[in-house]
Every structure is written in C-alpha cells, then in structure tokens.
Structure 1
Amino acid sequence: MTDLSTSAVELRPAGLVLDGREEALLCASLFYFRLPRETWEARLAQVRATGYRAIDMYLPWNFHETAPGVWDFAGRRDAAAFLDLAHEAGLAVIARPGPYICSEWDGGALPAWLGLDEDLRVRQAEPRFLEQVRGWFDQVMPLLAERQWGRGGAVAAVQLENELDFFDTADRHAYITALRDMAVGHGVEVPLIACAGQGDLVGANGDVEGVCPAFNFYPDDRSPFVEAEVRRYADLTAARGLPLLVTETNRSHATLRRLMVSGASLIAPYLQASGYDFGYTPSVGNWGDPGGFMTHDYDFGGYLSPVGEARPETAEARTLTAFARTLGPALAGARATGAEGVQAVSVTTSSSPSRLVLAGGGTVTGVPNLTEEPGTALVDGVEVALAPRSTALVVQDLPLAGFGLPGVLRFASADLVGADEGGLRFASRVPAVIAVDDATATFAAPEIGSPVRQNVGGLAVVVLHPEDVLDPGGAHGEITAPPEEAEELTTAYRRALPTRTGRTEAHELPPASEAVGVFRGRTHYATDLDGVEELLIEGAADIVDLALDGEALPTRVVYGGTITVPTAGKTAFEATVETWGHANFDDSRLPGLALGSLRGLGRVWSVAGREDVHALWTVDGGAQWAGDPAPVRSLGGWSSTRIGRPATYRRTLPVDGTSHHAFHIDGLVLPVEVEVDGEARILSPNDPWLHLAPGRGRDIAVTAPHWPGSGGGGVELLRLEAVRDWRIEAQPDHAIIALAGQDAEGLGVELPLPLAPGEEAWLDVPVPAGGRSLRFEGEQVRVSAFAGGELLGRVWLDDPHRPRFTGGDPGRLWIPAGWNSGTVRLLVRGTAGGAHPRLERVTAAPAPE
C-alpha cells in the first residue's frame, strides 16, 4: 500500500499513532449536529474526562446543504468551531463526512432531492452522483484539511463512505477511488479509512490503495465467540501490515476489553456520548417490522445520556483507559493469540479466550464472565475472582523497569491503572491477587473511597475501587445523581393560530414532497372525487393522514407500499403526508425503505375494475412433473413432495393495452419472482403488488418455491385510472417553524385536552426554567414541540396505527436550558381509528447539561 501517514499521524501495525506515541486508543462517538452549540464544550470535556483520547464525528451532508446549492455552516451547523473545540479539549477526531453516513439520520445524510433525478444512482461510481458528491466535498474537505492533526487541528483520520459492504455498489474500486481522489485533491493527508459493516474488507474499501480498511463490530455482549472472530480480523489486517481498527462497536467496557485483548488497537464504541435529533431529522427503517421510526431521543445506553448525564459506565471507561495509558506502547504493539492456561471457569465465559503478548515482555489474558453472577477462574493455576458481567485483564510477567521500578509484575488479577516511582496502582471490584517477583499478596475488594494498601515485593501497591480511578487530569469523575421528580404541567393556552396557510398550487397529478420543495416537513393534497368507488395509492410515505368529506381515517404508515381506500359516495379527498425521515438503510422489502426513495402521497388511482385471475395458470415444475401437457392449476396450487423446489406458473392476463393495471397476490407468505416482458422483480408478503403500465403484463410468469399453503389467497388484476386535478400546499420544515413562532390570542385550558380525530391545535405550555425532559401522556394524539426557534421533536401517543419506535425513549423530548424561554409551543393533532384523542398529561423533569 502507499503511505497512509502524515508526519504527525502514522498508521502503523501498532495502530493510529499520534505524535509518535503508540497507544491503544478508545474513541467515543460525539455528534455536533445532535447537540445545541452551547453544550459542545462541556460535552467534549466530559468525554475527555473518561480518558478517551479520540472522538468520531459524522458530518451530515444534508444538515449543511439545506436545499440544492444552499449551504449553512453557521450556528449549530458550525462544524469547524466544533473541531476547534475538540482540539482545545485534547481530543483527536476521526472525521466521517460520508457522503453516506447511516447514523440513523434522515436519509443517511444523502439530500432528499437526489431521488428526483431518475438517472442518478446513489453510492455508485456514476457521473451524476459523483458530481453531487463533489459539491459536498468541495465544502467539507477544505474544512477538514485545514484542521489536520499536527497542523493545529484535531483531525487525525478521515473516513470515506460508511459500511459500503451492506450496499450493492456495482464498482466499489472505482467509487472509493473517486472519493479518495477528491479528498486528497483537497489536501487531506491524514490516513483515509473505510469501515466494513459486516466484515467484508474489500467490500468496504474496494481494495483501493491508500484507503485503510476498518471494521464495525456489533456482537452480542454475552456471546462466547467474540475473541475468536476479532482475532481473525486482526490476522487479516496484520497480513497487510495494518492495525485492526474497530470504528464502531458496543458500549459495554466488558466487551471493549475483549476486543482490546484480542488485538484491536483503535476501539470506537458507537454512541458512548448520546445525543438528540432536533427537527425533522430522524430516519425510518430502523429494525422494525419491517420498518421503524427512529426516536428523537438518540440513545443506545452510552456512558453519557442525551442530556449529558454521566452514567455508571463512566467509571469503567476511566479504568480501561488508565490501563491502556499505563501499558502504553507495550499494549499497542502487542500480538494477540489464543490464551492457554485459563481453566476451571465457574461461569459462562469465552469459547476461546485471548492473550496479548506485550511488546517488551509480559502478557495480558482476558477472562470474561458473561453472566450476572460472580465467578472464579484458574489462570495458570492462580484463582481469579470474576465480577458479574466483567472481563478480567490478568497481567503476567511484566518487566517494571520501563516504569522506573525494580522487578517483575508476575501476576495481577486487578487492572493495572498506574505505575511510577510511588509504586503500583490497581483497580478492582472483587478481591485481587498481585505478585511482584517472588512475593504474592491477596487484596480484599476495596470500597468506594477506601483503597486497600500493601507492600508487595518491596513495592507500595494500592488497589482502588473503579469509581476512585482519576481522570487523565487527576480529578475524580462523578456519576450524575438520579434526576429530581418530574413536575406536572397542567395549564396550557390554546392559541388562535392557523396550522397551515391554505395557499395551494394546482397540479395535474400528486407530486412527490421533494418535487415541491418539502425535503422535510408536510405536504397537503386535496382533490374532488366523482363517482369513484375505490382508490389505490402507490408509494405513500411516511405518515399519511387521509380524510373523506372531512372525516378523518386512521393514519397509515406503509413505507411506500400499496393501499386501497374505499370511497363510495364520497366527493372530497384530502391527505396530509408528514416526513418522519428518509430511509437511512437500503431495505428492499418496501419501496419507501429504499435508500434515495421519495416522500409524499405517491400515485393515486381510481379502481375502474377488478378481475379474479387466481386460476388457469399452467405449471412448469421442472423435474417435479412428467411432461406435456402442462397441468393447469390455481396460482401456488401445485403440490409435490419436493419441498422448496421452484415451480413456475404462467398465464395471460386480461390487460387492455391502454390502461394501467395492478396485479395483486393476497395473503402471500413467501417472496415470489414475477417476470413481465422479460423483466423480473420480487413480490413479498410486505409488498404483494405489481404495477403494470399500458401494454405490459399480458404474459406473466410467477416462480415460487413449493411450500404447502404458500400460494396466498385471491389473485386479482385491477384496472386503474389516474386521479387528476390536485390542489397542493407545500409546508416545508422552515414554514412550520415560522408558523410556530407567530403570536396570537390565547385561551387558557386545562389538561387533559380532548381533540376530534383530524383536529389540529396550537398550545403554549409554561415550562419551569432550565433544561427539561418533557414527557407526554395520552392517546390518539401526535405532538410536535417547538422552542428556541427549532422543532424539539415529535411524539406519537398510544395509537394502534403508529409504527414501532426504535433507538431511545420515544416519549421524551428535550428542551435545552438555552432554548427555554419559559414556554414550549405544541402542535397537537388528533388521530382516528382508536380511542377518542386526548392529551392527558405533560411533565417536565430537570435535565442537567
């Protein structure tokens, strides 16, 4: 490979080396775009106090390009100022500008309008997409290049793309080469990296020279197989003369210890410092059935909560980073092997424990306890106590000369967190065995604030409780006390403000939200129906509120899937479609979960006719039938003992050659392949519809693996006519925020507040001073909360039609202290299809920052 280093940052087999010091680095995710600017400095200081030397920092393209060609790097978007504060805090930064970042962020940071260009293919070496990326890199790469490590800045590495091995990129080498050349062309000289999301090294970096592969690794914390898998990655990278960089992983330090002792030199647990998604920025498609909405509360249980509360895991962070600092280059330059001599473990442990052979002599053996119970193990014949859900790092045969001390540390079951002329310092929650030269001592488990001291082999030895381990500046860390009890807010003022302008534009067909400038926000649709008995809607996403003759229907969240709506006798059709967020994964199960998919109402058709086509399919079962003449069966009705073997069903559909049609298999339980005019696509239980343009679909073939009962229910062909003449009101996020900032007369009301289905209202709720966690209770109500000139976020109260929420707490919204003027403004909407809408209760709990 070509040189991947600057003089101040080197990529050696020992890891990412800053200013010549080899050290195993722990790196915390910390995202400026998920925090108010006034909290940046304090949050960076909190991370540095845990001993972490680095942070990883995404830079979301669509956070800075707010509309095509409109760039914003001011205020809360001032990424340069955040980088400068990180440098002042002594933190190195792994900058991750994408262009795609995932991060459960709206569209994975790809601008929503890219989907309007049908010829543009995201995350491909394709001219239209690369030209858009070049515009972003022209903005962000100079900002990073000016702040490189060793030149007065914090940027120690730049990641290109993100988990590309999850995506079907046609030419990975060409794509990553183009991104590399853009970065280098802007003067980026620190190491370039590309992370694999599922272990596909070449799939992540395209095997491009000058781009170091890294790995994102999310095991089950209780898995016994972690060590063996990590050692394999360490061997793969070592064969290339490179370190094992783990750019994302779990947050438990018991697991991070397992990675460290297995050969990882950079360990970056994802989201140790949690954050918050203000505005219309969460994504959709996250670990749901099939899709879920990411909460505004962006929290996976890291050591800092979204509002800056320090959790108990911070003590484990200080202990592990002190261990890494103490062993320094010996640990960074170590070689990982399978551990011998670990025996008689009384609890569930690793199937193949790891041992590091330290540079300069000595070893570190990792012994996990994967249970909630205390345990013991024999390590080379010495009994070691194991705390619940922990990983003991047993140091053996370590020469002490490098610390200016005589002798050899023969054995230590406690964590070595300091060594100098004053002696040896350890940390442990359980009794420990420590041996220096020929002297061995047993230490009782220390209490907080009461270290245990002994002289061992002529050296002063102290064993601390982990919560007494000092931070790198010599200060005691603090765990945030439990929050004060929440205060109930019972008074509100209903403001006489409109929730939309009512100004519309005429469109022949319903446009995508992005086509009318709604990249985030709401789009309102209205049309008149004349003799329409049923509508078919294709592609609606995300939150779809429908009304017929003013009567609200249950909210639909179908991620771009096809739905039908009975409309007999109705004349007025209205829809409000709200963007929760664009898909940040690329999920083929539903159209709206595909990366780059658009939002809005989609295509709306009148169902002009239905025809039953479940029968009269000829069957080609391959080796499963004797031959001509072909049997004629219902679709999916062929029976055989050859389970799982494919059978193909063919027939002619009664299409008229001039109309649009929709082919539908009801009750589908397995995916099937449908071939129309030589083109194949997959219909699945989540999306069992196929649109047929005029002239298509006369001859159709369906291929499915034989599985008794999988043929589904009815099979229908629907003839469609486009619904035309639409009135459209675009309501982008900035327009909604502007409405929320207006003043108007108010009428005092008391909670609980009833609403009618489909009713919207503005409420002002007085809030106590300071940072507050707001919680909402009720049913059949959606709430959008505004303060400080921003949307704080949205909650959706008990409703059988809402999707699954994933990530953090779906009922909590955060009003930062600097944004709290004493009032939070709410836009509330009642929904249909369940209990009577009712905002029952609002509470505000102190949220320290």
Structure 2
Amino acid sequence: MSIRTDGRGLWLDGRPRTLLCASLFYFRLPREQWSARLAQVKASGYTCVDVYLPWNFHELAPGDWSFEGRRDVAAFLDLARDHGLYVIARPGPYICSEWDGGALPAWLGLDRELRVRQNEPRYLEQVAAWYDRALPLLAERQYPAGGSVIMVQLENELDFFDCADRTGYLTALRDMALAHGITVPLIACSGQGDLAGATGDVPGIVPACNFYPDDDSPDIEPEVRHYTDLLAGRDTPLLVTETNRRHRTLRRLLASGAKLIAPYLQASGWNFGFTPSTGNWGRPGNFMSHGYDFGGYVSSTGVQRPEFTEAQLLAKVLDTWGDRLALATPSSRLPHLDCDFTTSSTTAALDLDGGGRLVAVPHLGTRAGTALVDGTPVAVAPDSCPLMALDVPLTPWGIDATLTLASADLVAAGDGTLVFASEVPVTVVIGEESAVVPVRGRTTVAGATVDVLPPAEAVRAGQDADDAVPVPADAEPVTVPEVRRRLEPAPERPAGTHPLPPALEALGVYRGRGAYRTVTDLTGIDTLLLTGAADIVDLTIAGRPHPTLTGFGAARTIDVRDVTGAAAVEAVVEIWGHANFDDARLPALRLGALRGPGRLWKVRDTADVSALWTVDGHWAGEPAPLRTLGGWSSTRVGVPVTYTRTVRTATDAALQVQGIVEPLRVSVDEGEPRTLHAENPWLLLPPGTHAVALTLPHHPSGPGLRARLLALDAVPEWSCAVQDDALLTAFAGERGLAEVVRLPLALKPGEEAWFDFELPELPDAAGRLIRLDATQMRVTAWAAGECLGRVWAGERPDFSGGNPDVLWIPAGWPGPVTLLARAMEGRGEPEIRTLTLEPATGA
C-alpha cells in the first residue's frame, strides 16, 4: 500500500508524514469558487482537505440521483488532486455537519420499521444504494492511482448515538467499502472518546478522535496524551479528525502525539437552499444559520483571517523538522518548567527521531511572560505556544554542534543557518554558547548564523509571489431603493384531503413547505392543543394570525376564547431543516423525525389530577401511601422515587405535569419509559384506563408538581397543498406581472409578497451580502437559479453557526435577486425598512 498507519505514525509512499487537514465542503460553495478555495488551503500550508459527501445532497428524492453542477463531487476531488492536496473522504452515511438531517434522506422516517444508524436490513439496503454511487467515485480517485484520496471515513461520531449493534453495523459498512475496491485506510472517529463505540472494534477500521476542548484549558495535554498512549497500544497513531481551529491549540495536540490534525471548518462555507439543520445547541433546540462559519482561517465568503498566517507558520515548522517530527514519540524526559503565566497542567514534549526534543510551552494569558526551562529564562509571547527545541543534533543542517535550547519556532534551517519566528526575543543555546536574539535580529552562536523574524515575515520569506492568494478589494455598501412586487403568488401543488394532517415528507416534500386547511366548529372551546408541530408553523384561526411556532414538536396550547362557531384554520408549515443530531428531549430533534403540523386538538375538558398518587420507593411500605405528586418526604435526597396513579378518559387525552425542574421518567401501563421535562411536559394518552408512573429524584423542598388531564378531540379533515424547494426555485426564476414599490414596505401579519430587484455590478471578488433592516419578517432569497437562504427579523428561535442576519450573493452570480417575504404576528408591525448590499470582505 502507498499509505498505511502504524504505532509510529502515518506513512505515504514509505515516508512518515505529519498532516494538517482543513475541512472544505464542495456542497457549501459555488462550483465556480472550488478552485480558489482549494488554492487558499494549499497556500495556508495545509496538505490535506477532508470532505463530507452528503447522501441527501445527491439523492434528491427516492431514486432521483444527481452528481452534476454543484453536486459533481468527482470534479471537486479531481481539483483537489490538481492542487496537490490529499483528501480524507467522509461519505457517511450519517455525517452530522449541522446539515439537513445529518445527510440522511428525510423519507427514511416514513418507514416505521426502518431504524437509522443501526444494523438493520431496511436501513442497510438504503445505505447500499448510496454507497453503490458514492464509493466507486472514491475508489477511482484513491492515492496514488488516479487521485489523492488517502482515507475513507465510515459513519461519524457513532459513540454519540444509541446503536444497538455497533460491531454488526460497522462491519456491514466496512464490507461495502471493501467490495467497492476501497484500499486506503478506513477510519471511524469518536466524538467523545469512546473508541469502541465509534468503531465497533471492527478489524480493518482505524480509530480516530475528535477533540473540542476549551482553548484556554490547562488540561488539554493529559487528555490527548491518554489517547495517544491508548492507540499506540493498538499499533495505531493518534489521528485527530476534528478539533478546534486555533493554532495555539493545534500545537498542543501536535506535542501530545497527534500525527493527523484536522481542525473542523478552517475553510468556511454556506448552506444554500433549504439545507441547514435544526440542532441541539439551543434551549433546547436551535436553527443553523445559512452562513456556516465557526471562525476558521477562511470566512464563509472567502476572506482570509489572521489565523491564516498562524497556519502558514505551523506548516513551516512541520516542513523544517520533516521526518524527525513525523516519527517523534511522546517524551518521558520532560524539562523542568517554571512559568510566570498560566500554562498547561502537564508538559507535552516529543522525542525527535535522530535525537533531541520539542517541548510545547503554551502561554494562556494576555501579557508577555517568562518561562524557566531547566533554569534558563526565556521570553514567551502571550496567546502563543512556541515549540522549543532541546538537545537537537544540528549535523543534518551543516552545523557540527547540538542545539541545547531554542525558545521559538524553527522555520528554516540549512547551510549553517537557523531561522526562528517569534514576536519576542529568542534565547538560543548551541553547545556552551548562548545569545538572546531580538526580533529581526541576526547573530552568530557557536559558528551558526541565527536569524529571528516576526511570524508574518517568516511566513513570507521564500514565498513565491505567484503562490500568494489575493485579498478581495473592499467595496461600498449599496442601498436598494425600490423593488418590483409581483402581482401573482407562487403556485401550489394540491396534495389531497386527509383525515389527519400528514407529514410533509408523506406528501413528497423533503425540503420546502406546505399549507394545511380545515374548517372546524369551536363552539364551547376555549383552548386548542397543538402537538408534534415542526419546524416553522404559522397558524391562522378565523382569519387571525398567531405568533409563529417553533417548538421542535413540543405541545403548545392556543387560546381561542374569542372564536365561536365554524372557524377556518390554516397552518403554513416550513421545513427549516431536519435534525442533525439525536436529541431525545423534543420530538422534532430526534434523528429521522418528520416535519409537518402534527395534530391539532380541541380541549373538551380539564381535570386536576395532582392528588391521589401512590408512592413506591425509599421506605414506603404496603399498602402504598397516597400523596400529592412530588409530596413524599424522605431523607434520601436525590434518590429516585416513583409516583403511580390510575387515570381514566373516554376520549384521547393529554397529561400535563406542571412545575418540572429536572427531567423525570414516565411510563404508561408498564410500557417503555420516556422523559418529560420543562420544555415539553406533555404525555398523550389514548382513550381508556391507564396506570401512569412518574419517577423523579427526591428533593425535600419540592419540586411542587401539579398535574392536569385534558380531554381531547382531534380536528379532522384537512386539505393540503405543497410547495417544495424545486417549485419555489422555479417560480423565483420566472418573470411575471409586477409593480414597482419603494422601501420601506409594510405587510400585514400572515401576508406574503414576492419581490425582485436588479443586481448592480459587483466588482469585488468576494461577492456581496444582503442585509435587511426589518421587523417581524421571514425572507427567502434566490439568485442565479439557486436559493441563497433565509433570514429572520424579529422574534425568532435560537440560531447558531455563522451570521444569521445576512445572505451571500457570490461573485459572478447574476441577478435579478428574488425575495419571498412573510409577515409574522408579534411585537412590532411587520416591515422591511431598508435592503442593503454590503461588501463581503468583512464576513
């Protein structure tokens, strides 16, 4: 094999290598910019890119495959090869990546017997269809025969997921990969350190680790070293397939033994279309923004950040030390360090092949400090982590001496010269001679010439001008004064009438939206209950719009005391994205959960059922005492206690437990327990008599729970119409009747409007950002036949990722730009005040 791994390291063509790898995702970039972004990675000094292949980006509907245009992953991989970059390919089937559904197709959730990410025939049959298309593309582009793919990752952080048969599941994926001719190493990454949980301990799958520590933690080194030693016992190097982006942290991983370092999302991107996910980083859920950016060295719009120079500097260090560093092993001969600044709790050092050591000295503070290294004082810049050389033979670089100590990064060596990069003076000891060399200084120590350059100058030294990546020129913001408002709405596709509202996926909509309509008699009804609705639900009852619901499937009550008689009900449901993680707290945050309005219920009656619960647990005897819910007194603080009660209802019902602080477990008729918590304290019950058991940790001061039982009638007979993303994008590209309107523009809650405006000439290479100054508006934008994404002004759910308030028009994408605005009920009147095209250089 031309690539292999063993306990000493990572080998390419028989040579040991230390690889820096940047995430770069073709599906989050315009195809026209693939080459430029790959060139940026190459210019950063990184030698590798890792790239996910999202299954649902290529299978648009069951059996409808696309590998063209922006989906031409083969062309992207070929470009990576042409730029001289290795590739770690990650075809899933599950990728996470804060992408719609973690890349699992939305329709998988329609099969109740199919269980995602399990060793289950129905699921594996679907995976095989995906692998049949993705893996041959990778096999043809393996290194060195035709491409630069050096590893293929199976699955992603499976140790976060409750997989019943990890060994069977990973074995099935491995066998598919081998059957398709994958010969490069197969890897599987652990997200929280459970190597067996990620790999199933399957032979032929190399375990890798993802680390996301606090950059300022003093305890990174002992954690990483633990895994370095653990993997060495398996004759495997430490491959860090995801981690933080700061190079101060990456140096600490290197010094702790990592041979592959792949910070996640150094090269940022964009979630075009309806592709962001809903995730688990909010309270408890959130929406991912369309800008996909966690502060890496290249922004979502292609602008290089200061960390880019840090990348080039670390790459020079790796190049200078070469094989000696690639074969280095964690050292047990640690120098005595005494620092006047906050540093690591455990020193990390490497024994270099051929002699000598590299010691990482992280400065976690904000002011310049001094470290005593075996008694020698050296200056250390704040927010840095110099890799200090100790006792290194200099013979390979033409110097017949030993480098006893150098307090800064060695970035070039040869012909009797040593070049260091530092922001503070550098202490150099060669043999018995020593000197403190100022920044931009040059001196001779024991016959060797020593140069010290600032990091930025050290990076540029010897760099070919043709290798430099141009920085886009800045541009002035442009305000759009007027737009053309279309006179016709977008068409809907009728989707039939149904006894109960089906999921959008059941109507053939995997990305997009739908409208559900019914007429129901609300005479004598004060409250409605909506259960299982996701992602975005705009509800209008009897002509009155209600505030937008984004409860991730949590039950919500709706006050309808002001409505009597027959009332029209409309629910417009938009898919923001399917969950990319498996979060059991809310229904719509479960992996594979469907989207739609859920069910709407009339609340016929409400009864308080807080009393008459029997107690089981602690020292409660038989017959079981009767208490109010949560009212048992005990000295066993924190020990679970179970309360049981029989409830009877002639109709469907909902049990609500009020006052929950900590999650509690509930089971009905001794069935499978589930969790109730403050965000969703509801339990649906079918008609009949049920034994309900609630188990919660005992607290002597509470928690003061109350329970009520709601008798329910389902609202039936729904007519449906849908607009998937393809229909909306096609309509956005049409030109119909319109009238010119000037901004600002006010809409009524529940009203929608389509607008177009011409795109002025965009001279800057980074493109432009669309920014709206608006209130209570959700706006979707299109240009050049692509959906740019969505912004939400006013009351909204939590967002994470990049900037949720702007959309990006890449350079070269022609206008006009089309906007769909929907006005929402809430604080403030819905209005678009200004629309501005800003330079993207600062994004």
Q: What residue is the counterpart of 2:833 in the other structure?
A: 840
Q: What residue is the counterpart of 1:507 in the other structure?
A: 498
Three-state SS of the structure 1 residue aligned to 2:386 is strand
- Decide which of 663, 667, 675 is 1:671's aligned counterpart: 663
Q: 1:447-500 deviations in whole A, cap 9, x for unaligned?
A: xxxxx3223322333222211214896447568478444333232221223044
- Decide which of 445, 454, 472 is 2:443's aligned counterpart: 454
1:744 correspondence with 2:736: yes
1:573 correspondence with 2:565: no
- Decide which of 317, 322, 325 is 2:319's aligned counterpart: 325
1:692 correspondence with 2:685: yes
Deviation at 1:287, TM superposition (A): 0.8
Matches within 5 A, 1:207-606: 207-337=201-331, 340-421=334-415, 423-446=417-440, 452-468=441-457, 469-470=459-460, 474-475=464-465, 477=468, 480=471, 483-501=474-492, 503=494, 505-531=496-522, 533=525, 534-567=527-560, 568-569=563-564, 571-606=567-602
Q: Does structure 1 retain, via aligned residues, the 8 Å contact 2:629–2:705? A: no
Paired AA for residue 706 in structure 1: H
2: CA distance, partners of 1:840 / 1:682: 44
Q: Does structure 1 retain, via aligned residues, the 8 Å contact 2:6–2:237? A: yes
**Kindly tell me: are residues 181 and 719 of structure 1, through their superposed partners in 2, closer, same or farther at Cα, counting changes over 3 Å?**
same
Paired AA for residue 497 in structure 1: E
Q: Does structure 2 retain, via aligned residues, the 8 Å contact 1:367–1:393? A: yes
- Aligned-residue Cα RMSD (Å) equals 1.8
- Decide which of 126, 131, 146 is 1:132's aligned counterpart: 126
- Decide which of 56, 60, 64 is 1:66's aligned counterpart: 60
1:184 correspondence with 2:173: no
Between 250-259 and 613-622, the greater mean CA deviation after superposition: 613-622
Between 496-505 and 578-587, the greater mean CA deviation after superposition: 496-505
Q: 1:354-384 deviations in whole A, cap 9, x for unaligned?
A: 1111111010000011112211101122222
Three-state SS of the structure 2 residue aligned to 1:654 is strand
Q: What residue is the counterpart of 1:786 in the other structure?
A: 782
**Kindly tell me: are residues 497 and 453 of structure 1, through their superposed partners in 2, closer, same or farther at Cα, counting changes over 3 Å?**
farther
2: CA distance, partners of 1:134 / 1:338: 47
Deviation at 1:709, TM superposition (A): 5.4
- Decide which of 757, 772, 775 is 1:776's aligned counterpart: 772
Q: Does structure 2 retain, via aligned residues, the 8 Å contact 1:49–1:473? A: no
Between 258-267 and 717-726, the greater mean CA deviation after superposition: 717-726
Paired AA for residue 494 in structure 1: R
2: CA distance, partners of 1:759 / 1:499: 13
2: CA distance, partners of 1:500 / 1:389: 56
1:756 correspondence with 2:748: yes
Three-state SS of the structure 1 residue aligned to 2:20 is strand
5+ long unaligned stretches in structure 1: 1-6, 447-451
Q: What residue is the counterpart of 1:103 in the other structure?
A: 97
Paired AA for residue 453 in structure 2: L
1: CA distance, partners of 2:478 / 2:370: 47
Q: Does structure 2 retain, via aligned residues, the 8 Å contact 1:58–1:101? A: yes
The alignment's TM-score, normalised by the length of structure 1, stands at 0.95
Q: Does structure 1 retain, via aligned residues, the 8 Å contact 2:608–2:707? A: yes
Deviation at 1:404, TM superposition (A): 4.2
Matches within 5 A, 1:150-169: 150-169=144-163
Q: 1:673-693 deviations in whole A, cap 9, x for unaligned?
A: 222121122212222111112
Three-state SS of the structure 1 residue aligned to 2:583 is coil
Between 561-570 and 608-617, the greater mean CA deviation after superposition: 561-570
Q: Does structure 1 retain, via aligned residues, the 8 Å contact 2:8–2:329? A: no
**Kindly tell me: are residues 768 and 461 of structure 1, through their superposed partners in 2, closer, same or farther at Cα, counting changes over 3 Å?**
farther
2: CA distance, partners of 1:595 / 1:368: 39
**Kindly tell me: are residues 235 and 760 of structure 1, through their superposed partners in 2, closer, same or farther at Cα, counting changes over 3 Å?**
same
Q: Does structure 1 retain, via aligned residues, the 8 Å contact 2:141–2:147? A: yes
**Kindly tell me: are residues 471 and 757 of structure 1, through their superposed partners in 2, closer, same or farther at Cα, counting changes over 3 Å?**
farther
Three-state SS of the structure 1 residue aligned to 2:146 is coil
1: CA distance, partners of 2:264 / 2:235: 26
2: CA distance, partners of 1:818 / 1:636: 64
Three-state SS of the structure 2 residue aligned to 1:524 is strand
2: CA distance, partners of 1:708 / 1:815: 58
**Kindly tell me: are residues 739 and 550 of structure 1, through their superposed partners in 2, closer, same or farther at Cα, counting changes over 3 Å?**
farther
The alignment's TM-score, normalised by the length of structure 2, stands at 0.96
Q: What residue is the counterpart of 1:767 in the other structure?
A: 759
2: CA distance, partners of 1:339 / 1:540: 60
**Kindly tell me: are residues 714 and 198 of structure 1, through their superposed partners in 2, closer, same or farther at Cα, counting changes over 3 Å?**
same
Q: 1:278-304 deviations in whole A, cap 9, x for unaligned?
A: 000001124100001111110000000
Q: 1:755-788 deviations in whole A, cap 9, x for unaligned?
A: 1111111112333323111212221111111101
1: CA distance, partners of 2:10 / 2:124: 29
2: CA distance, partners of 1:118 / 1:340: 57
Paired AA for residue 740 in structure 1: A
Q: What residue is the counterpart of 2:719 in the other structure?
A: 727
2: CA distance, partners of 1:471 / 1:464: 9
Deviation at 1:150, TM superposition (A): 1.0
Q: 1:214-244 deviations in whole A, cap 9, x for unaligned?
A: 0000000000000111111100000011100
2: CA distance, partners of 1:820 / 1:374: 50
Q: Does structure 2 retain, via aligned residues, the 8 Å contact 1:669–1:710? A: no
Q: Does structure 2 retain, via aligned residues, the 8 Å contact 1:15–1:245? A: no
Paired AA for residue 304 in structure 2: A
Paired AA for residue 746 in structure 2: P
Paired AA for residue 693 in structure 1: P
Q: Does structure 2 retain, via aligned residues, the 8 Å contact 1:165–1:197? A: yes
Between 734-743 and 128-137, the greater mean CA deviation after superposition: 734-743
2: CA distance, partners of 1:271 / 1:669: 36
1: CA distance, partners of 2:701 / 2:111: 42
2: CA distance, partners of 1:325 / 1:684: 53
Deviation at 1:171, TM superposition (A): 0.8
Q: Does structure 1 retain, via aligned residues, the 8 Å contact 2:768–2:837? A: yes
Q: Does structure 2 retain, via aligned residues, the 8 Å contact 1:677–1:700? A: yes
Q: 1:326-349 deviations in whole A, cap 9, x for unaligned?
A: 111111111113563343311110
1: CA distance, partners of 2:470 / 2:658: 55
Q: What residue is the counterpart of 1:172 in the other structure?
A: 166
1: CA distance, partners of 2:480 / 2:462: 42
Matches within 5 A, 1:651-670: 651-656=645-650, 659-670=651-662
Deviation at 1:714, TM superposition (A): 3.5
- Decide which of 34, 47, 65 is 2:28's aligned counterpart: 34
Q: Does structure 2 retain, via aligned residues, the 8 Å contact 1:785–1:827? A: yes
**Kindly tell me: are residues 13 and 502 of structure 1, through their superposed partners in 2, closer, same or farther at Cα, counting changes over 3 Å?**
closer
**Kindly tell me: are residues 47 and 503 of structure 1, through their superposed partners in 2, closer, same or farther at Cα, counting changes over 3 Å?**
same
Deviation at 1:632, TM superposition (A): 1.8
Q: 1:399-420 deviations in whole A, cap 9, x for unaligned?
A: 2232344332222112111122
1: CA distance, partners of 2:270 / 2:114: 31
